[in-house]
Every structure is written in C-alpha cells, then in structure tokens.
Structure 1
Amino acid sequence: MFNLLLIEDDRTLFQEIEERLSQWSYEVHGIDDFSRVMEVFTAVDPHLVLIDIQLPKFDGFHWCRMIREHSNVPIIFLSSRDHPTDMVMSMNLGADDFVQKPFHFDVLIAKIQAILRRVYNYNTDNNELKTWFGATIDYERNRVTNEAGTIDLTKNERLILKVLIEKKSKVVSREEIIHRLWEDERFVSDNTLTVNVNRLRKKLSDIGLGDAIQTKVGQGYVAREES
C-alpha cells in the first residue's frame, strides 16, 4: 500500500479525496496543525505528496521548498488558482505535476498512478551506472557526478536525461519525452516540459555540462555524443 500525504486545509475536500483514494487502496494522511507539516511528513514518510497552494501559516510553495531540501518524493500541486506563473513556480520548485481545481477524480488518480508507477516500478536497468561526457550517471540515486562535483536530479530530470542519452546524437521530439514522462500527453502542458528541461540544463551547467543538451527548434532535444 502506498502512503500519500495530502496537505489540504479544506476538510470537505480532504475527506472526499481521502475517500476516493482509499477506494484505490491508497493510505491518505492529512495535516491537523499546519505549523508542523514537516514533522508529519517525516513521520508519515509518504510515497507521494499532494499540496494545496493556499494554506494556513505558510503557502504550499513554502512547504514544497522545505520538502525538496530533504527528499525527492513526488509532489503534485492541487490549486484553484489558474495563473500560469503558479504552474511555473511549482515546476521550478521541483513539483512533478499541477492539477487545477475543480478536477475530475479520474484525471487525478491517473496522474497519481502514472507517477507512482514511474518512480517506484522503474525499469530494471535503473541500477546501472552510465558514463557520459566524463560524468557518471547513477540512475538509482538520481545523481550525476564528474570532477567538477555532484548534482542531484528530480525523478523527472533523471528520466528526461535518460531518454536523451538513450538516443545520443539523435533528435528526441518533445512529444516522445512527454509520453515517456507522464505516459499520456493529454494531461500535460507543453510548458511543463520546458521548465523541467531548463532546470536540468541549469544543474548540468553547474558541473560544466551546460552545452551537453541542445535544442533543435521545432524538433526537440539532443544529447550530444562525446567527441
């Protein structure tokens, strides 16, 4: 059974989501004291976190930052706010997805299932160490290491990098990457992929690999082949 932490102050909505997810055998935990979110997070040790943006004490962005300082657990934002900057902010902070309220429960459950399947039932070659441009990529620990240092990747960043490296020197379309990431591109905005790729590039640049992924305008992305 997967443990889910739902950080939501609307008790009616919380109970509805809890009831629906319980039907899928998910164990849902909530927050009673919104000044102790991290204490509950540590105690529950969830497989996935659902966060509202507008919360008592501190907003969901604050708690996303706090969680990301300690864990790469998948995070989905739930919000009635529909401004594009909210989605961009969520992705920049390391969230895996953004669901706007009101939402259809079938869509929410599909997203949760896809993320859990991707993160916890990943391909068997997940444990392999790969080398690329003198860097070692540890897919199991979500890390890239070279002489310049080590960077930690989110699950999305790891999979984007893996997809590109699998087809080194070949153009991988945005549609193919989205399909590999979320399994159903109908549930994903094109901007979400852009945010994830830009974040991956920034991290790679920190260890001298900023030019290793190239954009092919109107086509997709390419992981350069070592010369």
Structure 2
Amino acid sequence: MGTIMIVEDDVKITQLLKAHIEKYGYQAVVTTDFTQVLQQFKRISPDLVLLDVNLPKFDGYYWCRQIRSISTCPILFISAREGKMEQVMALEYGADDYITKPFHYEVVMAKIGSLLRRAYGSYAKQGERTITAEGLTLYPERLQLSLNGKSVELGQKEAALIEALMERQMRVVSRERLLEKLWDDQHFIDDNTLNVYVTRVRKKLRELGIEEAIETVRGAGYRLKVTWRKEA
C-alpha cells in the first residue's frame, strides 16, 4: 500500500507510530541516523514522510527543505511545538500538514490516508491535465504553473488551491470549498492554515510577474482576478 518514513527521535512514539502504520497495511521505515536523513530518503524513496521538528543535529525544518529540493513526496510534521509560527514555518518550508503532540494515532492515520490519496490514489487524476486562465497554465500532475514561457514549481496543496481558483476564475470561491478541496478531514485543520497556503500561492504568482491576483472577499472567500496583460 505504500512506504512511510518515520523521522522521530522519541523511541516510544516511533514504536507506536510504526505499529499503527503497519496495522493499516503500510510499510514503516524508521530513521536511526539523524545525520543521514536525506540519504535514507533517497535510498528508500518513501511515499510519505512523518517528520518531527526537534531532532538531533539538524531540525525537521532543515530536512524538510532538503527533501523538498528533490521531491514532492507528502510531508506530515508531528511536533510538540504548538505555536502558530512553528506551523507556519513548516508549511513555508514545504510541509503538507502539521500535527501537534500529544495526538490521537487514528488522526495521524487519517491524515496519512488523505495525503496519500491526494498524491497517488483515488483523488489523483490519470493522464496529463492542464487548466488555463487568460494565459496562465497549471499542470497539476507536474505541480507546475506557467505564464508566457516562465514557470514556477508548486507544492501539492498549492496546486490544488490555484486549481480551485482557476476553475472558477473571477468568481468567489468560499473558504469551505477550498478547505474541502485541500483536506478530506477539514475538521482538524486550523483556520490559519488556509491563509498560509493563500500567501504561498500569491508569492508564486508574483514570481511569474502577477501582482494582486488573488483577492480576499471578506466574509465570503477568495477570487482569482486574471487581469494582467499578456505578452505579445
């Protein structure tokens, strides 16, 4: 069903995570050398990474950036750090989700299942798709957004967010619709998490030379306003 890489230095938590993961039919690979996380990632090529923030030598943010430099594999942070900034940093560095300790192992498994479905399973579309809006082209399977020959790379949830907005260009998309699009188990999602992803997508659009493309409609949601001038 898939391979889950566990990067966690608390032995008890690691053992419990491994037991639950294997109970659900996945293969669990536990990291023991915290100076060789990226090398192990390359060697086993997991389908998803469970990553703690507090680790020996280098923290989880460091390893998240390293993994993101070579892979779009789903990354789920599990951490005792409950602050908003810690969660924002994790998402900014490329994580797909963040769970604070102590957590219910059933919730962890639900999030693992959701991320795997989004990346590879029943929610992953087959074949090459493109979505266009006034010269802006999204390649969901490549996690790539292009305009006038220039492209930027996207995270999985960034791609899902811009896809939802492009599909309803110039119309307001409610926060509830976006939460449903990005997360199956939205009940567990902090409201600020969606704001973080909107900020990240705005940054990617600016890299393409597009300013103020995502409009916040107070009390309603967000709207993509494709009003820039296309190159000749």
TM range (shorter): over 0.9
Measured in 2, the distance between the counterparts of 1:80 and 1:160 equals 28
Amino acid at match of 2:211: G
Measured in 1, the distance between the counterparts of 2:143 and 2:136 equals 13
Amino acid at match of 1:85: M
- Please identify runs of 4+ aligned residues in structure 1 that moved more than 6 A: none
Please state whether the residue corresponding to 1:221 is helix, strand or coil: strand
- Structure 1 match to 2:91: 91
The CA deviation at 1:148 is: 5.7
Note if 1:188 corresponds to 2:189.
yes
Could you list the runs of 5+ residues in structure 2 that have no partner in the other structure?
Answer: none
Note if 1:162 corresponds to 2:150.
no
Measured in 1, the distance between the counterparts of 2:113 and 2:211 equals 33
CA deviation profile, 1:64-86 (whole Å, cap 9, x unmatched):
11111111111111011111111
Q: How does 1:44-55 map to 2 (within 5 A)?
A: 44-55=44-55
Measured in 1, the distance between the counterparts of 2:205 and 2:226 equals 15
Q: With structure 1 as the length reference, what TM-score do the two structures score?
A: 0.95
- Structure 2 match to 1:65: 65
Could you list the runs of 5+ residues in structure 1 that have no partner in the other structure?
Answer: none
Q: How does 1:126-141 map to 2 (within 5 A)?
A: 127-141=128-142
The CA deviation at 1:109 is: 0.8
Amino acid at match of 1:157: E
Whether the aligned pair in 1 keeps the contact of 2:172 and 2:217 (CA below 8 Å) is: yes
Measured in 2, the distance between the counterparts of 1:175 and 1:81 equals 27
Whether the aligned pair in 1 keeps the contact of 2:131 and 2:163 (CA below 8 Å) is: no
Measured in 2, the distance between the counterparts of 1:180 and 1:164 equals 11
Amino acid at match of 2:30: G
* Structure 1 residues 126 and 90: CA distance shift in structure 2, 3 A: farther
Q: With structure 2 as the length reference, what TM-score do the two structures score?
A: 0.93
* Structure 1 residues 77 and 123: CA distance shift in structure 2, 3 A: closer
Whether the aligned pair in 2 keeps the contact of 1:8 and 1:51 (CA below 8 Å) is: yes
Whether the aligned pair in 2 keeps the contact of 1:143 and 1:151 (CA below 8 Å) is: yes
Measured in 1, the distance between the counterparts of 2:152 and 2:21 equals 34
The CA deviation at 1:135 is: 2.4
RMSD: 1.5
The CA deviation at 1:225 is: 4.8
* Structure 1 residues 180 and 197: CA distance shift in structure 2, 3 A: same
- Structure 2 match to 1:43: 43
Amino acid at match of 2:89: M
- Structure 2 match to 1:31: 31
- Structure 2 match to 1:80: 80
The CA deviation at 1:165 is: 1.3
Please state whether the residue corresponding to 1:124 is helix, strand or coil: coil
- Among the aligned pairs, what percent are the same residue? 38
Please state whether the residue corresponding to 2:169 is helix, strand or coil: coil
The CA deviation at 1:11 is: 1.4
